[in-house]
Structure 1
Amino acid sequence: RPDQKREMVAALQSRGHTVAMTGDGVNDVLALKDADIGVSMGSGSPATRAVAQIVLLDNKFATLPYVVAEGRRVIGNIERVSNLFLTKTVYSVVLAFLIGITGVLSQVFDFEPLPYPFLPRHVTIAAWFTIGIPAFILSLAPNNERARTGFVSRVMRLALPSGLIIGITTFISYVLAYQGPDQTETQKIQAGTSALITLIMIAVWVLAVVARPYVWWKLVLIGGSVAGYLILFALPFTREFFKLDPSNVAATTLAITLGAIGVVLVELSWWISARLHGEKRKIFATSDDLPGEHHHAHSE
């Protein structure tokens, strides 16, 4: 009876389940409305089709695994991309805050305030291969991870520590390379380049962490990002255009060292976060993680 169907949905929901209800008749309408996802047959009654979120136009249950897979892809990829963008927001705020603090201290202790390390073009190239292009590809990629609650907390657990690490190490790299208020234009560019090298190294590693578990095309994506930055720093034209000068060996070596320290800290925070929250981490994908395995969708 309609009331019994409704009670079955309520009973499952009371145990913490996400419930999908399928039906084609008027007696299914109440249960379809109460369910988290209502699925109606295309040949069903108009009332059933009206209350359902999904209508199976071909009247085949075999379509549902594709629906589940698409939902997983969208939700999982939004989480991945959010990690990248929120990390950038955190390190931008941290860097601006630290530079601002030196400005306040300069008023108190009467010294020249520290200028912001990056030109607008530096910020642009920092985002090209760590956020812009990878985020576009990751957002369209297949993804078979099950949707889970706790989206915001999971994103914060990666983005906050990663952003703090990038912001602080970039600031340290810049301060150590900074030659004082009387620095030449060349020294100014070299100091900014040092900070940028540190930032890019750690930001690429954050991308590498977000892209896990790896399959071949993700490794190509990360390799392409690294290659893109190497080309920008290697070609005389791009170095000139983007005001990059890694020729100061001491400053560049220091920047790479701080970048390596930041990479280790990001990796450690990823594993520690997993241990604290009981999450299983995988570096390489297994056959269970690959999309197109429709039996996984059936099992739900």
Structure 2
Amino acid sequence: MHRHAPCPLAHLWLGLGLCSACAAPPTTTRCTDTPPAAVTNAAQARDAAEDPAARITTGAPLPADAGVPAPPGEQRWLASDPHVPFFSLRPDEDGGSRIHAHEPEDCTGWAVPGSRWHAVGRHGALVGAFVLTGGEGYDVTNCYELGFERESGELGSGLLVTGAYQAPARSLAWTPSAAERTALAGRVAEIDGLFEVPAHADPPPALAERSLAFVRADIEGEREGDSTRWIAVGGRWFGLFSLEPERADPAPRWRLRYLDAELAVHGFVPPMAYTPLAAIDADGDGDPELVVHRSDGPSWDDLLLIPGGTSYDEGPMSTGGATI
């Protein structure tokens, strides 16, 4: 949870009625003076390589003997663009599994030439197979941006995984009705209108192109009487909404659960500073994690959101990419 002050968004929930259906403000409201996450990632990766021998120079080819295959039970995930380490999921002592952030050494350790990776679709399905053919170093991130050859299928969301991942046993997708889409469009327009955008700036794409509808599980009854139908919306801000269960009022009602407008308050950003990429179920518990692509223009990364009760919590972020 991130709550920083002062923050011009702090008064929105009641003053502008954006969360009129909420008992409390959305879990995450980010509004800081810190650099964009991808720039911070790049600086941390660069500073992590204190040993000059560990420095990766721009354009350097991936060593032919790089990497070690994933051990049994481990999943390794690469970000969508560029293909760099994102997160892993490894067995724990209790017989379950745990999500781990990538480490600086994974830039080489995961890059096994000839290894087979699977492309993941927007709702966690395996949609393609790719073989790692090499990589090129980038000194800003001190990492290799990996290259692949398509073996079959398509790239899907852009995410790649190798190891023990299994696609969700049940579909994570659902389709809002026309009335539900109309109600959501109204909420989205309210939030879009909060941010000053230059007159010449491109508008965000249509709602259908900037959103991802997904189904959450009701694990151990923690959402009893609450909705399992959610939708992620990207643009100059990122939000998660849940569709309220049917009630006496037949009009669809959306509850704002999560809002990240950190990039929007830094000034002009691309129309799709935040893009919901995929709902996956890496840990196999039936309640999907979400992957969001973030970009301020010159830098970008992928962020994993992990389900937590009635909202989501921030998890690992990818090494990222940049043109700085």
Structure having the higher helix fraction is: 1
What TM-score do the two structures reach when normalised by structure 2?
0.20
Structure with bigger strand share is: 2
Q: Which has the higher contact order (CA 8 A, sep 6+)?
A: 2
Q: Tell which structure's C-alpha radius of gyration is larger.
A: 1
User: Normalised by the size of structure 1, how large is the TM-score?
Assistant: 0.21
